[in-house]
Amino acid sequence: MSYFRYIDNGKGPTKLFIGGVHGDEGKDVLPLIKLLSYEDFSPGQIYIYNFDKTPYISTIHREFYESEQGKKILDLVDYYKPDFYTELHSYNIKHFKSLTSLKRLDNDGIPPLIDCGQYVLCSSVSPLIRRKHFTKETICQTLEFPTFRWEDLKLSEDELFAKYDYSHDLSVREYMSFLRLITLSKTRADFEDRVLRDYKKQADLALKYVKIIYGLDFPRY
Ligand SMILES: [Zn+2]
């Protein structure tokens, strides 16, 4: 069943979180969303949606935003006009290299995802919607949690550690640590300070990629 949570924390930024953007990612990110407690949120209006399984279409393809699910998400964005917009995704750990590779720029014209540690990835949102549905002031973020498919599903925690140097607990900690930067930030400037303090290397990369995609006069988040 789809999940929705609204937190009325009074005056402050509007924050929209979307899990289960496409495919069956909702089942991977819902347990993470549920780790957020009331104390994790800044003042403001907070809306969290997590969707059930829908057909998988990549958000870098226009067909996604023409699909029922894509339209639903854009309707929410246009309705709430959030100051912070966050997509909570999951990905197959086997795709770590290709998702973080600069080849994405050459092949698809989209920036690579950025490694935040423990296989957690971050980036802005799809270039197809960044300019059209948000202002420059909006903080747009995508977070990706590693998951396993195919033969990896049979492996134990120890075997996964041996094969990928992956620890579920450490990945959860990293994902939540980045997510809390977003949930706790009171303003755009506050978010920028927190990212520069905890994720300087990632912030530098985000700036590099945004310059390539959007030009000099565009914010990195
Ligand atoms: Zn996804």
In the chain, which ranges are continuous DSSP H helix? 25-33, 62-66, 68-80, 96-99, 103-108, 127-133, 157-164, 168-184, 188-198, 200-214
The answer to the question of residue 220 being in a domain is: no
Question: Which domain CATH number covers 151?
Answer: 3.40.630
pLDDT tens, residue by residue, 137-160: 999 999 999 999 888 999 999 999
The answer to the question of residue 34 being in a domain is: yes
User: What is the Å distance from ligand 1's center to 131 Cα?
Assistant: 20
The answer to the question of residue 130 being in a domain is: yes
User: What is the Å distance from ligand 1's center to 28 Cα?
Assistant: 11
Percentage of the chain lying above the pLDDT 90 cut? 88
The answer to the question of residue 114 being in a domain is: yes
**pLDDT of 1 strictly over 80:** no
What is the reported pLDDT for 200?
95
Domain with 50, as residue range(s), is 3-214
User: What is the Å distance from ligand 1's center to 60 Cα?
Assistant: 10
Instruction: Provide Rg for the chain, Cα atoms.
Output: 17
pLDDT tens, residue by residue, 84-136: 999 999 999 999 999 999 999 888 888 999 999 999 999 999 999 999 999 99
The answer to the question of residue 204 being in a domain is: yes
User: What is the Å distance from ligand 1's center to 21 Cα?
Assistant: 6
Stretch 20-36: mean pLDDT = 97
User: What is the Å distance from ligand 1's center to 11 Cα?
Assistant: 31
The answer to the question of residue 219 being in a domain is: no
Distance CA 23, CA 219 (A): 30
How many structural domains compose the chain? 1
Beta bridge partners, 85, equal 16, 140
Distance CA 159, CA 108 (A): 34
Mean confidence (pLDDT) of the chain? 95
Query: With 0-12 CB in 10 A as exposed, 13-18 as middle and 19+ as buried, what is 220?
Result: middle
**pLDDT of 216 strictly over 80:** no
Tokens of 131: 């300019």
- Give residue for tokens 């300087």: 200
Stretch 19-42: mean pLDDT = 97
The answer to the question of residue 168 being in a domain is: yes
pLDDT tens, residue by residue, 83-97: 999 999 999 999 999
DSSP state of 85: E
DSSP state of 94: G
The answer to the question of residue 100 being in a domain is: yes
